[in-house]
Amino acid sequence: MKRMLVGLLALLLAAIPALGEVPADGGAQYFEGGGFDSPENAVSAYLQAMRAGDVQGMLATFAIETCVDASDPQAYLERMWMFFPDELEGLPIGSAYARALAVNRRRAGLVDDLYMQYLFYSWQEAYGAFTGNALKLDGEDEVAAFLAEMSDSAFADALTELEVMEFVDPAEMCEQYASERNQALIAEQTACYGCDETADVVARLDIGGETWYQCMWCVRYGERWYNLKLSGNIGVLLGISSFAGGLVPASSLSM
């Protein structure tokens, strides 16, 4: 019996990668979840995690590994005729090392979007409009004031009151969305991601008694839907700030 237990333990230990060992495939499915059966469910899951303050849960609703593996860099470069080092779409994945970098860069880009959203909605009017540029602070008093004001941000607390009221047809938000020219643009962008289908989703929210909207670009790979990008095409058409992460109060939209 003792010999059997020792043998079983040896097998289990052999199955556990050594500390620091890199999987031969570069690491598969580390960050994204299993996907959803509709784009609306993908957005709902994101918003539910957001309400709970669960950043990891929010990120898991996005296509990360799948997006990196399926993207078509040739289609992207032939559409843009330019390579942008800060964008992943044009990067060919020629090794497990490059893939691991791309996967982590994809996730990091989403984290950066959420970080900028937090700053955007925590920014104090005294500092002017949030531009993403450096803010000059003169002296210890201004440093102390800045730290105190940013520490008192009510953004996260407000999100705990978030409720999804309904999903709205993007074409009802902006007539230009359904135009032939805009749909052709979406089709060109879709081809770069090597996916089966994309969809712009708009969720109408209630946050503390005020109407807000969350815009999201969703993507289908096979039978599963994921979130792809915050804001998406409809967010651009509505003029939502690139720092807002597709989240905007209805009072700031002119529809």
pLDDT digits (tens, 9 = 90+) for 19-72: 333 344 444 558 999 999 999 999 999 999 999 999 999 999 999 999 999 887
Task: Give which of 61, 87, 63 is closest to 76, Cα–Cα.
Answer: 87
**Where does residue 83 fall: left (phi above 0), alpha (psi -120 to 50 degrees), or beta otherwise?**
beta
Residue 37's SS3 state is: coil
Q: How far apart are CA 152 and CA 42, in angstroms?
A: 31
pLDDT digits (tens, 9 = 90+) for 137-191: 899 999 999 999 999 999 999 999 999 999 999 999 999 999 999 999 999 888 8
- Residue spans per domain, the chain: 31-252
Residue 195: how many CB atoms within 10 A of its CB?
A: 22
pTM confidence score: 0.85
